[in-house]
Amino acid sequence: MHNDTTRTTKLRDSRDDRPRRRVLGLAVLLLTLGAGYAAAQRGVVDAVAALADEGDVEVEESMRRPTIAQIMAQIDEVAARHQVPPRLVAAVIAVESEFNPRAVSRRGARGLMQLMPATAANLDVEDSFDTRKNIEGGVRHLRVLMDRYHNDLPLVLAAYNAGDTAVVNYRGVPPYRETRQYVVRVLRRFDRAAARAAAQRIYGSGPARPGPSYPRTRLAVIQVYGPMPSEIESTSETTVVATAPPSLPPLGAQGP
């Protein structure tokens, strides 16, 4: 009897605890979901903040990038100081980097005038992405080449593109396709007449010349009546001698 009473009391107590356990489980679930939601929101906020920072960096960088008008003003100032035609400098920049101060080639050339790291070091250019320093170094390099090649612009531009060694070794514009096209492209932007002259100088003009002609042996036919000469003097022409056919009797004549 006592055992039955105890069992009944425990069963009643367990039934009374069910609502509490459900409430407790629901509270734990809410806490778990809330923590996950908070973490997700924090991640979204961080991502948005990172994008905003990147956007600010891009906007700031675009604001610092000079316009073409500002670059042209720097070209005029630096070129005048080194006595290099500003139009020539602008033509080199247009072909080299299309006026992009952040341009980097596959070979590692940098900036507006595409200075290689070794060239930039020789010209004391510490930051090739700085427009003024890049223009200063590139114009100084052009001035040196113009003095070295006596203002022969095809050679100057060939040396700027392929290096001094190639121009010296080939004693002119190297037979590199890239270098030849580079010379003509830059000169076309600088002076079309100079570009045409350079193209004619590099590639030649007009149809290909025929090879040396050899004298043909002429055939002269001499008809000789009478006995064949015992000796015919040799000449530069081949002579074919033919004798006259024997005379035939008239038609209807009888033989002896």
Residue-wise pLDDT for 130-164, tens only, equals 999 999 999 999 999 999 999 999 999 999 999 99
State the average pLDDT over residues 72-80: 98
Does residue 140 sit within a domain?
Answer: yes
Does residue 41 sit within a domain?
Answer: yes
Among 44, 64, 84, give the residue marking a domain's end. Answer: 64
Does residue 78 sit within a domain?
Answer: yes
Residue 96 annotated in active site: yes
Residues 89 and 193 in one domain: yes
Residues 54 and 152 in one domain: no
Q: Per the structure, how many domains does the chain have? A: 2
What is the pLDDT at residue 253? 45
Tokens of 62: 């675009």
Residues 45 and 84 in one domain: no
**Catalytic member of 54, 61, 77, 96:** 96
Tokens of 96: 């080299």
Residues 51 and 131 in one domain: no
Q: Provide the percentage of residues in the chain whose pLDDT is more than 90.
A: 54
Residue ranges of E strands in the chain: 219-224, 238-243
What is the pLDDT at residue 129? 97
What are the Cα distances from residue 33, in Å, to 20, 43, 47, 155?
20, 15, 21, 74
Residue 160's domain comprises 68-203
Helix axes 153-162, 177-190, angle to 10 degrees: 130
Does residue 106 sit within a domain?
Answer: yes
Q: Between vectors from CA 219 to CA 218 and to CA 221, what angle results, nearest 5°?
A: 145
Contact 117, 124 (CB under 8 A): no
Tokens of 15: 């039934």
State the average pLDDT over residues 66-95: 98
Q: How confident is the model at residue 207 (pLDDT cuts 50, 70, 90)?
A: very low
State the average pLDDT over residues 109-132: 96
Q: What DSSP assignment string belongs to 72-98? A: HHHHHHHHHHHT--HHHHHHHHHHHTT
Residues 184 and 159 in one domain: yes
